Amino acid sequence: MEQYDIAVIGSGPGGYVAAIRSAQLGYKTVIIEKYDSLGGTCTNVGCIPTKALLDSTHHYAEAHHKFQEHGIKLDQIELDFSQMYKRKAEVVSKNTGGLDFLMNKNKITRLKGTASFVNNTTLKITNEAESIHITAQNYIVATGSKPSTIPGVEIDKKRIITSTEALSLNEKPKSMVIIGGGVIGVEMASIFNRIGTQVTILEYADHLIAAMDHDLGKNLQKILKKEGIDIRLNHAVYKTESSDSEAKVFFKDKNGAEDQLEAEHILVAVGRSPYTKGLGLENTEVQTDERGFIKVNENNQTSVSHIYAIGDVIGGAMLAHKAEEEGVLVAETINGQKRHIHYSRIPSVVYTWPEVASVGYSEEYLKKNNIPYNVGKFPFSASARARASMDMDGFAKVLVDPKYGEVLGVHIIGARAADLIAQGVIAQEYEVTAEDMFRISYAHPTYSETLKEAYLIASGQGAVNI
């Protein structure tokens, strides 16, 4: 039986980063993945393909709605749906190819098959051809998550689908109802609405992207509504039905009034559940919580000290970069290093247009916990850069401690917010003040100046720029 120092189960962003860092630290490392391609949810059916389609459809929408004002006339703008999906597939395959290269470069053994614990120390790996056993001194479980559903809603993968099936459609749907106005809901709504699908979002909460600062969801709602998406908040879905050609969704508003809609597809985006099926946890002493997430301590150790777990399978923010941080933490912890992750400083991004990005505490959190704060908010409509590019929707908002000026939260909705948020992460990670942030130089004209102005306002000074 082959013996390894570290065996990583699952090759998503948690697993592949953990394997690479383990190999860099000199450990004999194996990575086990049940699918042919590496990269997990993020690379194959998550972050990467959605961003490829969001970019393509953004170009298409710009060509329709903005080019003329920029002085660009096109005779005919036509959607080639299959080419759009083909390009998306090529982007995915370039990324999975990059991961193959990195595994070889770092001399990581790659095994294809489903990994299942036989006991606390031995793993069985089964594929179509064979079944083998291996042992490792340390295991890192990074098996990720799968889409959840709600009672009364059965995902048939044809009419009632998840984001995974939406990423491999053969033709543009005429209509789509999306259950859930969270991150997947609004990203998928943007993709399909931009290419002419009639999109409705049914959301149980009274905000879109309700986990983020509520100002962001409110503003996003206005923008998406203006673009033609039918958004119904305070609506709870309780049942769906499907036939060969269409699907129906049944829901209630907050007063209990019932209604229903028909659509070509109903896309279920109500969250994701930990994936531990077939992993054989029942043969170990690893514990899970009531929702099935693997329980870990601050070093990501499970109740069996040499079995670690990271990423979506342990819960918390289901984000690729959170899984990656945990992958590095575990490899370095095994190596005897002392590491710590500040979870409140992990940014969240929604890739609508404009983008939405957040790090730190929301205004709702500060209010609820009686933490005093000052707000600095600056609109993109007052930014010279935003006016030049015609991207004037949104704002930058900073929440600052009134006494010492410490940056408590940064929330942006606006062009390139996904990239701008890195600055907010640095501000919080190094505990600098709002004054530190407005005294540094910002290139003019840039979207980043909206943050400088927000820091100035939060510090009691007026804005200085346009």
Q: Tokens at residue 27, please?
A: 């450990």
**Helix (H/G/I), strand (E/B), else coil: 138:** strand
Which entry of ligand NAD, ligand FAD, none binds 311, CB below 5 to 8 A by partner kind? ligand FAD
Q: Quick count: other Cβ atoms within 10 Å of Cβ 242?
A: 18
136 binds ligand NAD (CB under 6 A): no
Residue closer to ligand NAD, measured from CB, 272 or 411? 272
Judged by CB under 6 A, which stretch of 42-50, 76-84, 91-99, 292-300 contacts ligand FAD?
A: 42-50
Q: Any bridge partners for residue 252, and if so which?
A: 236, 258
* Adjacency order of strands within the sheet including 230-232: 160-161, 265-268, 175-179, 198-202, 230-232
270 binds ligand NAD (CB under 6 A): yes
236 binds ligand NAD (CB under 6 A): yes
What is the longest distance spanned by two Cα atoms in the chain?
69
Burial class (CB in 10 A: 0-12, 13-18, 19+), 345: middle
DSSP 373-438: -EEEEEEGGG-HHHHHHT----EEEEEE-TTT-BEEEEEEEETTHHHHHHHHHHHHHTT-BHHHHH
- Which residues touch 384 (CB under 8 Å, ≥6 apart)? 444, 445, 449, 465, 466
Residue of 156, 159, 165 whose CA lies nearest to 184: 165
207 catalytically annotated? no
10 binds ligand FAD (CB under 6 A): yes
Tokens 């009419």 belong to: 159
Cβ-proximal residue to ligand NAD, closest one: 182
Residue of 192, 204, 363 whose CA lies nearest to 270: 204
Residue closer to ligand NAD, measured from CB, 10 or 180? 180
How many binding residues for ligand FAD (CB under 6 A)? 37
Please state, in angstroms and rounded to a whole number, the distance separating the CA atoms of residues 210 and 233. Answer: 11
Please state, in angstroms and rounded to a whole number, the distance separating the CA atoms of residues 463 and 466. Answer: 8
Residue closer to ligand NAD, measured from CB, 51 or 295? 51
Which 175-204 residues touch ligand NAD, going by CB under 6 A? 179-185, 187, 202-204
Using CB under 6 A, which of 23, 142, 413, 421 touches ligand FAD?
142
Using CB under 6 A, which of 132, 195, 210, 463 touches ligand NAD?
210
CB of 38: closest distance to ligand FAD in angstroms?
A: 8
CB of 142: closest distance to ligand FAD in angstroms?
A: 5
Using CB under 6 A, which of 85, 117, 351, 442 touches ligand NAD?
351
284 binds ligand FAD (CB under 6 A): no
311 binds ligand FAD (CB under 6 A): yes
168 binds ligand FAD (CB under 6 A): no
- Which residues touch 228 (CB under 8 Å, ≥6 apart)? 193, 199
13 binds ligand FAD (CB under 6 A): yes
Which entry of ligand FAD, ligand NAD, none binds 275, CB below 5 to 8 A by partner kind? ligand FAD
Which entry of ligand FAD, ligand NAD, none binds 41, CB below 5 to 8 A by partner kind? ligand FAD
Which 296-335 residues touch ligand NAD, going by CB under 6 A? 318-319
The dihedral sign for the CA sequence 361, 364, 370, 373: positive
Spatial contact of 418 and 354, defined as CB atoms under 8 Å apart: no
Using CB under 6 A, which of 23, 53, 153, 184 touches ligand FAD?
184
Q: Tokens at residue 275, please?
A: 């994936």
Residues that bind ligand NAD in the complex, under the rule CB under 6 A: 150, 179-185, 187, 202-205, 210, 236-237, 269-272, 318-319, 349-351
Catalytic residues: 444
Residues that bind ligand FAD in the complex, under the rule CB under 6 A: 9-15, 32-35, 40-42, 46-47, 50, 114-115, 142-145, 163, 184, 275, 278-279, 311-313, 318-321, 323, 351
